[in-house]
Structure 1
Amino acid sequence: MRALIAAATGLAVALALVLALTAMGSPAGETSPKPLLTTVPAHP
């Protein structure tokens, strides 16, 4: 029974954290117009 209570408490805390982060919204800022290079260009 303790395990069930602990799991429910953990789930409630995680849900509260997600809701708090969602309520705060995304941070204000701008994205870079330049694309990110994820690979090294091949040498011929």
Structure 2
Amino acid sequence: MDDTNDLTPNERAWLRFLRDVSNDTDPGVTLRRVQLLRRLCARRRA
């Protein structure tokens, strides 16, 4: 995906959300961060 026009409105909203929660930084993806985000999402479904 090399063009931001390829992003759906929902994908753009997720990117905005991630930028907001990271204070507009660009943290790298780590196993720990993925696990934490998955855990947070799982709690919302329960």
Fold conserved between structures, TM > 0.5: no
Higher share of residues assigned helix:
2
If asked which structure has higher relative contact order (CA below 8 Å, sep 6+), I would say 2
TM range, smaller chain: 0.3 to 0.5
Structure label with greater radius of gyration: 1
